[in-house]
Amino acid sequence: MENVTNPAVTPGVALSLAGRAALITGGSRGIGAAAVRLFRSAGARVAFSYRTTQPQAFDLAETCGGPGLCHALQQELSTPTDGATLVHTAVAALGRLDCLVVNHGVWPPHDEPISAMSDTQWRTTLGINLDSTFGLIRAAVAQMQRQEPIAGVRGHIVLVASTAAQRGEAFHADYAASKGALLSLTKSLSSELAGHGIYANCVAPGWVSTDMSAAALTHPETSKKVLATIPLGRVASPDEIAGPILFLCTHWAGFVSGEIFNVNGGAVLVG
């Protein structure tokens, strides 16, 4: 009988994406960069987008295998056309598209009462977080539908939302609204596409230690309030969000579609 107690002789469980091609938006830092590294470790060829951090993006691409295996693509993402352009560029680099991870986004760090929120802030947040996502998905689904499936699967779409999508966030109505829309979008995509071999799921992180959250998490008062809402007593690392994203693109998640995967240390239950 196989020894299943001694880790030295127990075979590991592979989360493999060998032969797959993935596009990860916002991939130069934070959750996106962790996902790029993890997807490459799982054997996928990866293209990822960045907006301004070119040296950081190029270093990551080189570390993860360089030309042919990992591509850094500069692309603004604020309109549906931007999203479609990125998908077409990624497919040109990779040859196909099996996984789309929509990770990019903006969270204005200053508190803004709804009574004072400008049209510009509202439209900017929804343009980046939602409009470009529509363009990405529309182009990605069209690509997945016309390419040959692998093991019966045409593709995976994983949207990165937030606990703010589920419980709201005072003074950040623009962000919560844009991320809340991703939850409904995930369910709609699953209902429409699951029968065609395209899986759609969502990962909803809580507080994560990234550049985007640094201003809040380094502020003594704000940090204290944040940690008080997380039963685990700490914020997540980017790797702890990238892991569930990867899982949802593997065959181990072969019966999961339309799911909102909460990764928040239990915070959404007590907030």
CA distances to 99, 146, 233 from 217, rounded to whole Å, are: 31, 44, 13
Mean pLDDT of the region 119-147: 98
User: What band does 3 get if pLDDT is binned at 50, 70 and 90?
Assistant: very low
pLDDT band at 1 (very low <50, low <70, confident <90, very high): very low
What is the reported pLDDT for 139? 98
- Kindly tell me if the per-residue pLDDT of 260 is higher than 60: yes
**Identity of the amino acid at 41:** S
Beta-carbon contacts of residue 166 (< 8 Å; ≥ 6 apart): 180, 183, 204, 260, 262, 268
Spans of all domains in the chain: 21-107+117-270
Q: Which residue has the higher pLDDT, 220 or 100?
A: 100
pLDDT of residue 26: 96
- pLDDT of res. 248: 98
| Higher pLDDT among residues 152 and 2, named by residue | 152
Question: Of 180, 197, 81, 190, whose CA–CA distance to 139 is shortest?
Answer: 81
pLDDT of residue 209: 77
Quick check: helix, strand or coil at residue 65? coil
Please tell me which residue, 12 or 145, carries the higher pLDDT value: 145
Residue 227, burial from CB neighbour count under 10 angstroms (0-12, 13-18, 19+): middle
The CATH superfamily of 21-107+117-270 is: NAD(P)-binding Rossmann-like Domain (3.40.50.720)
Whether pLDDT at 27 is above 50: yes
Cα atoms found within 13 Å of the Cα of residue 73, Cβ hemisphere only = 28
pTM: 0.91
**Strand intervals (E) in the chain:** 21-24, 45-50, 70-74, 99-102, 155-160, 198-205, 260-263
